[in-house]
């Protein structure tokens, strides 16, 4: 993705491996500060996932893959029995960071599988590093293809609604839902993007809006409650969101609030699309109701986070919104049943939700 800071424009991926260090764009500081965070070992990298320094399904998938590669590189010695024990503990640590996004488990498994037959620690280290890097490249290519397939669904002059951040920041590059939007903009389709703010962590307001600014894509930030109004008034022609997990029956889990948008889109006859690479599909999960839904800290609802106005504010600040006695609940995702989904945009093309199970044979 292109990042403009002052007069310079530089290409970045959301996350990458530099030697044995995992580097990533520090997402909680955006849009106010652009910084790169570095994590020296797999335990630090695991924490970067659970604390959401990196977030978004394909991005945490690649981070999980890099974390496994890092764990191989951390190991000192040549004893394969001890090495296997170390790796299975590292796998557990990385896999227990967040429960919903399937890409995390896919990324971890891909690298773990690649070292199953390694005969020595050094062979495992080389293989794991190469596999994690090619996993990230594969993930970026898939998102680029999603952009090409999905971009063609967007008609000239459309209003496009998206929820959360399913952009380049949430992936290795390009994005899932934002890839078709980028493609449509590059192909001069004269689109306008409606960006849901996406309470409580405001990934729309903070991250999607930032990506739109970086790309110069016309957009309006709207409160989470406003999408139905603009659908009813005919200003939204298509909805494209990402997914954290796609079940075999075509149900999906995505950021909390997605389900409501899908229902209101159907009510208004507006096509509702999911953009997700094959790494997000959990073929073993029969339906959306079986997808584990992460419950996060109530503080994310009780407080808001931002940068105070004025040149002297050098840091972000947290402010409490609700009375001090009030408790909150905070599910991070919800499930949208397949019946509300017009199509799932994958790297292989646009599929009906009922066709998702057939993809298994094609991968």
Q: How many residues bind ligand MRU (CB under 6 A)?
A: 17
**What is the torsion angle, in degrees rounded to the nearest 10, for the CA atoms of residue 100, residue 114, residue 41 and residue 299?**
0
Pick the closer one to ligand MRU by CB: 243 or 344. 243
Distance (Å, whole) CA 295 – CA 298: 9
**Closest Cα partner for 87 from 70, 100, 107?**
70
The two structure tokens encoding residue 62: 């690649």
Q: Are 202 and 214 in contact (CB under 8 A)?
A: no
Pick the closer one to ligand MRU by CB: 101 or 265. 101
Tell me the CA distances in angstroms from 24 to 3, 56, 74, 111, 331, one per residue in order. Answer: 13, 13, 19, 19, 26
**Options 121-129, 168-176, 183-191, 260-268: segment touching ligand MRU (CB under 6 A):** 168-176
Distance (Å, whole) CA 215 – CA 59: 20
**Options 16-24, 73-81, 145-153, 239-247: segment touching ligand MRU (CB under 6 A):** 239-247
Question: Binders of ligand MRU among 314-353, rule CB under 6 A?
Answer: 332
Minimum Å gap between C-beta 296 and ligand MRU is: 8
Q: Quick one: which of 164, 195, 227, 236 contacts ligand MRU (CB under 6 A)? A: 164
Among the listed residues 103, 173, 224, 244, the single catalytic one is 244
For the window 101-130, what string marks contact with ligand MRU as x by the rule CB under 6 A?
x-----------------------------
Q: Quick one: which of 254, 278, 336, 346 contacts ligand MRU (CB under 6 A)? A: 254
Minimum Å gap between C-beta 280 and ligand MRU is: 7
Pick the closer one to ligand MRU by CB: 110 or 139. 139
The C-alpha angle 87, 91, 93, rounded to 5 degrees, equals: 115
Q: Are 234 and 260 in contact (CB under 8 A)?
A: no
The two structure tokens encoding residue 263: 């229902």
Q: Are 279 and 310 in contact (CB under 8 A)?
A: no
Minimum Å gap between C-beta 202 and ligand MRU is: 10
Q: Which residue minimizes CB distance to ligand MRU? A: 242
243 binds ligand MRU (CB under 6 A): yes
Judge whether 244 counts as a catalytic residue.
yes
176 binds ligand MRU (CB under 6 A): yes
Question: Binders of ligand MRU among 33-72, rule CB under 6 A?
Answer: 55-58
Pick the closer one to ligand MRU by CB: 206 or 342. 206
Minimum Å gap between C-beta 132 and ligand MRU is: 19
19 sits in the region (left: phi over 0; alpha: psi -120 to 50; else beta) called left
Distance (Å, whole) CA 103 – CA 9: 30
Task: Please give the full DSSP string across 26-69, using - where no structure is assigned.
Answer: -GGGTTT---EEEE-SHHHHHHHHHTTSS-SHHHHHHHHHHHHH
Question: Binders of ligand MRU among 194-223, rule CB under 6 A?
Answer: 203
242 binds ligand MRU (CB under 6 A): yes
Residues that bind ligand MRU (CB under 6 A): 55-58, 101, 164, 166, 170-171, 176, 203, 242-244, 254-255, 332
**What residues are annotated to the active site?**
244
């Amino acid at each position: 993705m292109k990042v403009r800071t002052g007069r310079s424009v530089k290409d970045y991926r959301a996350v990458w491996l530099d030697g044995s260090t995992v580097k990533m764009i520090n997402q909680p500081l955006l849009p106010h500060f652009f910084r790169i965070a570095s994590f020296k070992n797999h335990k630090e990298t695991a924490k970067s996932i659970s604390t959401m320094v990196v977030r978004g399904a394909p991005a945490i998938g690649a981070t999980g893959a890099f974390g496994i590669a890092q764990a191989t590189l951390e190991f000192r010695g040549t004893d394969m029995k001890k090495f296997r024990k170390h790796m299975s503990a590292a796998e557990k640590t990385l896999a227990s960071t967040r429960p919903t996004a399937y890409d995390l488990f896919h990324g971890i498994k891909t690298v773990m599988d690649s070292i199953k037959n390694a005969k020595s620690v050094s062979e495992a280290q080389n293989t794991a590093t190469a596999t994690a890097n090619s996993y990230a490249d594969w993930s970026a290519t898939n998102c680029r293809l999603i952009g090409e397939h999905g971009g063609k669904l967007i008609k000239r002059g459309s209003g496009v609604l998206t929820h959360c951040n399913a952009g380049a920041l949430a992936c290795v590059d390009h994005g899932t839902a934002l890839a078709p939007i980028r493609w449509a903009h590059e192909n001069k389709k004269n689109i306008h993007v409606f960006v849901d703010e996406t309470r409580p962590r405001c990934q729309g307001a903070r991250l999607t809006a930032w990506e739109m600014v970086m790309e110069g894509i016309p957009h309006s930030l709207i409160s989470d409650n406003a999408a139905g109004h603009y659908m009813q008034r005919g200003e939204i022609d298509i909805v494209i969101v990402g997914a954290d997990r796609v079940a075999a029956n075509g149900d999906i889990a995505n950021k909390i609030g997605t389900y409501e948008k899908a229902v209101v889109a159907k009510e208004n006859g507006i096509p509702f699309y999911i953009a997700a690479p094959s790494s997000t599909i959990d073929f073993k999960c029969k339906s959306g109701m079986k997808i584990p839904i992460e419950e996060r800290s109530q503080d994310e609802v009780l407080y808001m986070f931002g940068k105070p106005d004025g040149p002297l504010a050098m840091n972000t600040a947290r402010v409490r919104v609700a009375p001090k006695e009030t408790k909150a609940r905070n599910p991070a995702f919800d499930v949208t049943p397949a019946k509300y989904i017009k199509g799932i945009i994958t790297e292989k093309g646009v599929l009906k939700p009922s066709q998702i199970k057939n993809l298994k044979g094609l991968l």
